[in-house]
Amino acid sequence: MSPFSIGGRIVSSDSRPLVVAEVGINHEGDVQKALQMVDAAANAGAEVIKFQCHITDKEMIPTDMKPGEISDEKLWDIIKRCELTASQEAQIQEYCRQKGLIYFSTPFSREAADRLAKLDVPVFKIGSGECNNLPLLDHIASIGKPMILSTGMNDLLSIARSVDIISRHGVPLALMHCTSIYPTPYNKVRLGALTELQHRFPGLPVGLSDHSIGIWTCLGAVALGASILEKHFTVSRSWAGPDVPISMEPNELADLISGADAIWQARGGNKTCLTEERPVLDFAYASVVTIAPVSAGEIFGLENVWVKRPGTGKIPADKFQRVLGKRARRNLPPDIQVQPDDIEGF
């Protein structure tokens, strides 16, 4: 697979996690609300913002089906109400450019993918519902853009088939673990799936598309190697919108960006003593000291030697047992650090 980047922004374990503010259809089809969300995301420090590209009659047939517990409204009516025209999407994309944000979107049909291709989006985000839609994946991959594939409701075998279809076109690919429950209970998030994806598809960046409440699971995902974090976004949870109840607000987005960066910097490494720890080591460690007067020839024992701070003495605390039972070469006052040449045979 090719190195993964979005509009020049490298996505890898060596780069700080990419936080995707997912507006989706929270704008309710209102362009002005969409632009307000762009402003809010930019002010919170976002690099990228994502929408959804719906052309209702091209992605579904007329149906009275409702989206489960998400809403009592018919799915067709929700999608139709939240549609944006091609010109509106172009307007939003240009506004994102002016604000310094990378814009991309999720297509739900061939026609939507082709519309986004005309907009020259830098990447295609594929929703979990399309993870096993092999004809659509094949069509989108043939466009030649990087792809981010969410994997909710799919197992490793299903994901592997999708990865195979996409890889035939040689486009860069990233995989997102996702649980398609709205909201997702914490005990159903299953961050362990990130490790599974990393082992099963080595070389592909992995991330978390999260539907739980708050930013906690996203932060946990960073510690496990997530390179991309995606979470629904809104200006305010008081607004209407299909995914608003599980969306983060601007202050949470800012916290997620800074928190993800902090955890990314903190992960990795190994257990050793750092040079920068030395000043603390000197005062925090202990050295062997006298706790009573010691006469020349006297045997060192628990009644006359012990270990105390600081750790600047020549005999550190972990060498204490080597001192016990040996004789003093000279008279020693109490409360001094014992030196190696104070001890016979040390």
> Is the Cβ–Cβ distance between 153 and 182 less than 8 Å?
no
The backbone torsions φ and ψ at residue 213, rounded to the nearest 5 degrees and listed phi first, read -85, 135
Q: Which candidate, 129, 223, 196, 125, places its Cα nearest to that of 166?
A: 125
Tell me whether residue 252 is in a domain: yes
Does 1 map to a domain?
A: no
Based on the domain organization, do 200 and 330 belong to the same domain?
A: no
Q: Are 133 and 262 members of one domain?
A: yes
Last residue in a domain, options 225, 247, 266: 266
Q: Looking at the domain assignment, is residue 3 inside a domain?
A: no
Same domain, 242 and 203: yes
Q: Which residues contact 51 (CB under 8 A, 6 or more apart)?
A: 23, 24, 25, 27, 34, 84, 89, 92, 103, 104, 105, 106
Instruction: Give pLDDT < 70 ranges for the chain.
Output: 1-2, 69
| Dist CA 93 CA 102 (whole Å) | 8
pTM of the predicted model, to two decimals? 0.92
b/e for 176-212, b at 16 or more Cβ within 10 A? Answer: bbbbbbbbbeeeebebebbeebbebbeebbbbbbbbb
Tokens representing 332 are: 């020693």
246 and 182, same structural domain?
yes
**CATH number assigned to the domain comprising residue 293:** 3.90.1210.10
Looking at residue 292, its pLDDT comes to 98
Whether residue 159 sits in one domain with residue 187: yes
Torsion sign over Cα 228, 229, 234, 235: negative
Phi, psi torsion values for 222, nearest 5 degrees: -60, -40
Q: Are the C-beta atoms of 63 and 118 separated by less than 8 Å?
A: no
Q: How many domains does the chain have?
A: 2
Residue ending a domain, choose from 266, 294, 311: 266
Q: 80 lies in which domain range?
A: 8-266
Residue pair 205/172 in contact (Cβ under 8 Å)? The answer is no
**Would you state the pLDDT for residue 71?**
77
Of 215, 244, 266, the position where a domain reaches its end is: 266
pLDDT attached to residue 67: 85
The whole-number pLDDT of residue 232 equals 98
Q: Are residues 224 and 282 in the same domain?
A: no
Q: Give the pLDDT score at 2.
A: 56
pLDDT digits (tens, 9 = 90+) for 279-291: 999 999 999 999 9
Domain of 191, CATH number, reads: 3.20.20.70
How far is C-alpha 51 from the chain's CA centre? Answer: 20
